[in-house]
Amino acid sequence: MGFDFSILGNQTNSLIIGGGELSDTTLNNIIIATAADLSDRANNTSNNSLSPISYQIDGEAGKEICKIEWKNAGF
C-alpha cells in the first residue's frame, strides 16, 4: 500500500480482502465485518468484471489513509 500501518497490533503494509474479511498478509490477523460475501456482479458468468476495485491513498507521510471502492458490487 506504500505505507506501514497497524492491524490488530501488528505492523504490515499489505492487505488481503476477500468476501467480508480483511487480513494482513500473514492471515493471522483477520477482521470479519459480515457473514455476507462481497462479490463481483458478474457472478462468475463472464470473464469480465462488472465490479471494478479502485483505491486512493490520501494524507501526508505518517498519516496516510487508504480508501478502497468496489463499484457495483453485490452480496
The confidence score (pLDDT) of residue 10 equals: 78
> Residue 12 domain-assigned?
yes
Residue 39 placed within a domain: yes
| One-letter identity of residue 44 | N
pTM of the model: 0.51
Q: Each residue's pLDDT tens digit in the chain (75 positions)?
A: 778 888 778 788 777 766 556 676 776 777 666 666 667 777 666 667 777 778 898 998 888 888 888 777 776
* 46 part of a folded domain: yes
Position 9 scores a pLDDT of 80
Pairing of strands 10-12, 21-23: unpaired
What domain range includes position 11? 5-70
Provide the number of structural domains found in the chain.
Answer: 1
**Among candidate residues 69, 40, 49, 71, the one with its CA nearest the CA of residue 57:** 69
Distance CA(47)–CA(43), nearest Å, equals: 10
> Is residue 75 situated within a structural domain?
no
